[in-house]
Structure 1
Amino acid sequence: MPISQRLLDKLRERRAKVQSGGGAAKQQERHDKGLLTARERLDALFDDGTFQESGQHIRHSGTAFGMADKDLPADGAIAGNGLVNGRQVSAFSQDFTVAAGTLGKMHAEKLVGAMQYALRMGVPLVACKDSGGARIQEGVDAQSGYGKVFYMNVLLSGVVPQIALILGPCAGGAAYSPALMDFVIMTRKNAHMFITGPEVIKAVTGQAFTMDEVGSADMHATVSGNAHFVAEDDAHAVAIAQALLSYMPANNSEDPPHRPWDDIPLEEDEYLNQVVPEDPSEPMDVRLVIDRVVDEGTFLEVHAGWARNLIVGFARIGGIVVGVIANQPMEMAGALDINASDKGARFVRFCNVFNIPLVTLVDVPGFLPGIEQERGGIIRHGAKLLFAYGSATVPKITVILRKAYGGSYLAMCSQEMGADWVYAWPTAEIAVMGAEGAINILYRKELAEAEDRRAKAKELAAEYRDEFASPYLSAARGYVTDVILPSETRGVLALALRKSLAKREMRPPKKHGNIPL
């Protein structure tokens, strides 16, 4: 006998109610604010028709204070999996139209379920965060739920990529989950993330701050460094997540989605021979180099607004996925400081755990001097970058464009730190310190006796570079693989990358290293 129409209608009715979330009026409120609903966010993320929901009939237990008669469709969270550009992804989306997306026991179970699925299947996790925080009616059950989510974030770390989209409030303990994930994308107008809001700060400290000063996307993208990307709206945030996923493997046992070209791009680019200023002290925008050596239009910068003296991001060279790390002389002369060290170390470690080759472009005068840096722990933070590069076993290719002085030369993946290839432009200066400081030590007498001290200093600086900082000197000692023309850089990188894809490097057995945090 066929299934009765009554049962079919009941299922359709239940589905419709769940999918309506908090109701048409609340969904319209979302749209009026320029927001997508929780389900619309997942629809935008996944290829059409590929999303399969899990646990849509889950409800809260009903034992929480004052909630026995509350009907919370899907308990305020939609979870499931689907395909993003043909590749499987697990995801969840908190529904602000249902109890403000607050987290209770069963809500947390749905989030954890999506995370467990990502771990079992070895697929990335995308989390759409839009929640009023813990559901206070559920007390310690809600607190326990957060703990389970955090534990899963840690369990997934380094196994599958994790991307958080902050599309509304993310307050209190809830903020720690995105902080434990690999990348955080925040919308400019509607997202806020903080541990304690303006009212609590004022009550405790007496200081008054606006919500934007405490937890906006712009603040986190430029000051705290908690946000990697700022999106203009929900659709833009989803598009950034999709772009990120296009550079990542599904899990740590796979290679990234390389698309090797049939012909390796070996042609020279004469533009790069003209890009270096004649004066070695004049800043050079390293983006001009990045844009010419990577495949056109493929560079996706990460953390663009924070620690701008170091540029990091994903790209392709001859179709091969790479992580790019480059000093930016246009900011702080390209010197490494506390924030740049943290930014670089975190990015290098992500690339390493997900088998993404590293291309490092070096133009660094040193670590940033100053009492604030020393008291802030520049030694400890700089050591993070050394540790990250030294522990990375993926292919590592370094190109020294201009300055590479002292400890910062080592921190930017020198041969001694495990680089597989180190190339230098003829303009490279590899030395213990810069020419200006060195001549004051080595040529003190000559400077003191000179009638025109400035002219003599310039002459001696050139002499120092030729005698002590020449790339040919480092090449003669075996520290540099080869000195190349700038115009040859793209071809050299493309060829080295193609040869490096089978690299395997064994390390001493251990549980894990102890990075200086």
Structure 2
Amino acid sequence: MGGLRQRRERLREGIVAGNSRGVDRQHTLGKHTARERLEQLLDEDSFTEIDMYRRNQEGGDDAPHTDGVVAGSGEIDGRRVFVYAQDFAIFGGSLGEAHASKIHKVMDLAIATGAPIIALNDSGGARIQEGVMALHGYGGIFRRNVEAAGVVPQISVVLGPCAGGAAYSPALADFTFMVRDTAKMYLTGPDVVEAVNGERVSHEELGGADVHGSRSGVATVVYDDEDSCLEDVRFLVSMLPDNNLEPAPRAERCGAATDDRPRLAEIVPVEPNQPYDMREVVGELVDDGEFFEVHETWARNVICGLARIDGEVVGVVGNQPMVLAGVLDRTASQKAARFVRFCDAFSIPLVTLVDVPGFLPGTEQEHAGIIRHGAQLLYAYCEATVPRIQVIVRKAYGGAYIVMDSRSIGADLSLAWPTNEIAVMGAEGAVNVLYRKDLAVAADPDERRKELVTEYTERLMHPHFAAERGLVDDVIDPVETRSAVARGLAVLRDKRKHSPQRKHGTIPL
């Protein structure tokens, strides 16, 4: 038995140590090894590995153990997660039959036990030598991604190449992290692009982190290095529930229900056309100013992210007047719709901050399907059964007002600042439409227009117009926004709403 133990320990030590040449190559590229990443991501000594001895049976005794992926379970701040880390030092992290079966096992266990799934991707793609079995392995991963959707949180971290079919798993995840310079993600590489289209493009230009962070919208968050990336993965997990049947972790209450914020009265200009940063409003609204923003550099005219208010995790959606005056366009609608659906799937309350002049006009938007994409956001809010609080900060015009979680589509509580302007359109535009003939014959059209704008504003756009008709529950002092939202969340905490029996809805994708 003593001899068997020694043999076992030597084998395990060799597997953990890995191929020294491959390890050195990873470090030369500025990348950590798979096991180093797991050590940084998980609590100390919490990782339990499965299938350490697994290898490709056709490779004989020379085939490396683990088959290029380290898989198992560990803890983050004492909470169970399941994780796999592809090992680029073995077969370039390529996916074969044994490699895929380990990932399948981990995902099955996560779904069965109700714990988050974290994937650390660093792979050259399908293992060509194994042919269709490699493709079959990817299909099994994608099927499990879909089975897990809305059941357990899924986080994908791209720390190296993620090419071909491998890119679909991060696309199916709830959150996708990427690291600049080292992470690359695309369906067809630069060589194929050049051969088919004659277009020369670098790996970075085709599928680098900044491309997916700001243009495609595939990357949720982008980082400069692996350390800060993995640190933020830990932070994100601290705000997510284990599964769809558990609440998100609550922190200690911090007296938000009586916490007035005078600065809120200073951030937002009274003039409707003056820009400001909605993130500053969010910073005053949430606990300790901590806001985990998603898709920060994509569709920047709307902001989405997770935060806490009086210790309770909430999803925040807000128009961003600093970009395109905060209008909704097709990408902003997509971004917000996906985030709203995630929050609803995992019972995270929604707080929507509204300052929207409408949908972006123009042939480009119309032809690109802004109606369909706007309908996605409308559908997401209408479908959501979580507590929903709307705060109208300033403008709320036209269909965009309806879409941004108005009372008419199911918001539980609608609050408005005294600066609110809720109308079909702005007073200037309304006067130009309604009084076109009057203005055409006026002796002084400019002066007459000013009179009509003032009259229209006082009659139909005064701060209490919507409140008088029950579409706004209260007109609040801006300094009371944090306390009013905190009290609203407390009132709605035990909300229960059951949807009609159906297989699933038909969201206009």
TM-score range, shorter chain: over 0.9
* Cα offsets for 1:19-76 (capped at 9, x unmatched): 123x1122122122221100111111110011100110111121xxxx4464222100
2:270–2:419 contact (8 Å) kept in structure 1:
no
Residue 29 of structure 1 is matched in structure 2 by 25
**Alignment pair present for 1:42 and 2:38:** yes
CA distance in 1, matches of 2:258, 2:268: 21
Residue 319 of structure 1 is matched in structure 2 by 311
C-alpha deviation, 1:14, in angstroms: 1.1
The one-letter amino acid of 2:49's match is E
**Alignment pair present for 1:15 and 2:7:** no
> Cα–Cα, structure 1 residues 369 and 177, in superposed 2: closer, same or farther, change >3 Å?
same
Secondary structure in 2 matching 1:208: coil
Question: Among the aligned pairs, what percent are the same residue?
Answer: 50
Secondary structure in 1 matching 2:317: strand
* Cα offsets for 1:389-433 (capped at 9, x unmatched): 000000000000111111111110000111000001111111111
Secondary structure in 2 matching 1:251: coil
Correspondent of 1:241 among 233, 238, 242: 233
CA distance in 1, matches of 2:89, 2:254: 50
CA distance in 2, matches of 1:305, 1:80: 33
CA distance in 2, matches of 1:51, 1:290: 36
> Cα–Cα, structure 1 residues 459 and 209, in superposed 2: closer, same or farther, change >3 Å?
farther
CA distance in 2, matches of 1:401, 1:513: 32
C-alpha deviation, 1:198, in angstroms: 1.2
The one-letter amino acid of 2:8's match is L
C-alpha deviation, 1:460, in angstroms: 3.3
Secondary structure in 2 matching 1:89: strand
* Unmatched runs of 5 consecutive residues or more in structure 2: none
2:302–2:320 contact (8 Å) kept in structure 1:
yes
Name the Cα RMSD after superposition: 1.4
Normalising by the residue count of structure 1, what TM-score does the alignment of the two structures yield?
Answer: 0.96
Residue 417 of structure 2 is matched in structure 1 by 425
Residue 207 of structure 1 is matched in structure 2 by 199
C-alpha deviation, 1:354, in angstroms: 0.5
C-alpha deviation, 1:83, in angstroms: 0.7
C-alpha deviation, 1:453, in angstroms: 4.5
The one-letter amino acid of 1:293's match is L
C-alpha deviation, 1:500, in angstroms: 1.5
* Cα offsets for 1:166-211 (capped at 9, x unmatched): 0000000000011111010000110000001111111101122121
2:256–2:309 contact (8 Å) kept in structure 1:
no
Runs of 4+ in 1 over 3 A off after TM superposition: 67-70, 262-265, 445-460
1:133–1:171 contact (8 Å) kept in structure 2:
yes
The one-letter amino acid of 1:32's match is T
1:73–1:98 contact (8 Å) kept in structure 2:
no
**Alignment pair present for 1:56 and 2:52:** yes
1:320–1:498 contact (8 Å) kept in structure 2:
no
2:254–2:311 contact (8 Å) kept in structure 1:
no
Correspondent of 1:218 among 185, 201, 210: 210
CA distance in 2, matches of 1:327, 1:459: 31
Residue 463 of structure 2 is matched in structure 1 by 471
Residue 193 of structure 1 is matched in structure 2 by 185
Secondary structure in 2 matching 1:280: coil
Mapping 1:380-459, distance limit 5 Å: 380-449=372-441, 453-454=445-446, 456-459=448-451
> Cα–Cα, structure 1 residues 505 and 199, in superposed 2: closer, same or farther, change >3 Å?
same
Greater CA drift, 257-266 or 471-480 = 257-266
C-alpha deviation, 1:452, in angstroms: 5.7
C-alpha deviation, 1:456, in angstroms: 4.6
> Cα–Cα, structure 1 residues 454 and 201, in superposed 2: closer, same or farther, change >3 Å?
farther
1:430–1:474 contact (8 Å) kept in structure 2:
yes
CA distance in 1, matches of 2:139, 2:173: 15
* Unmatched runs of 5 consecutive residues or more in structure 1: none
Residue 249 of structure 2 is matched in structure 1 by 257
1:72–1:99 contact (8 Å) kept in structure 2:
no
Secondary structure in 2 matching 1:265: helix
CA distance in 2, matches of 1:496, 1:347: 21
The one-letter amino acid of 1:7's match is L
Mapping 1:93-492, distance limit 5 Å: 93-261=85-253, 263-449=255-441, 453-454=445-446, 456-492=448-484
The one-letter amino acid of 1:468's match is L
The one-letter amino acid of 2:14's match is K
2:55–2:66 contact (8 Å) kept in structure 1:
yes
CA distance in 1, matches of 2:458, 2:73: 60
Greater CA drift, 296-305 or 69-78 = 69-78
* Cα offsets for 1:93-144 (capped at 9, x unmatched): 0000000000000100001111011101100000000001011111111111
Secondary structure in 2 matching 1:47: coil
1:51–1:82 contact (8 Å) kept in structure 2:
yes
1:471–1:480 contact (8 Å) kept in structure 2:
no
The one-letter amino acid of 1:276's match is V
CA distance in 1, matches of 2:208, 2:254: 45
1:17–1:73 contact (8 Å) kept in structure 2:
no
CA distance in 2, matches of 1:105, 1:26: 22
1:169–1:192 contact (8 Å) kept in structure 2:
yes
> Cα–Cα, structure 1 residues 478 and 313, in superposed 2: closer, same or farther, change >3 Å?
same
Residue 3 of structure 2 is matched in structure 1 by 6
2:184–2:208 contact (8 Å) kept in structure 1:
yes
Normalising by the residue count of structure 2, what TM-score does the alignment of the two structures yield?
Answer: 0.97
2:253–2:310 contact (8 Å) kept in structure 1:
yes
CA distance in 2, matches of 1:286, 1:272: 11
CA distance in 2, matches of 1:128, 1:451: 71
The one-letter amino acid of 1:471's match is P
The one-letter amino acid of 1:50's match is S
CA distance in 2, matches of 1:459, 1:113: 71
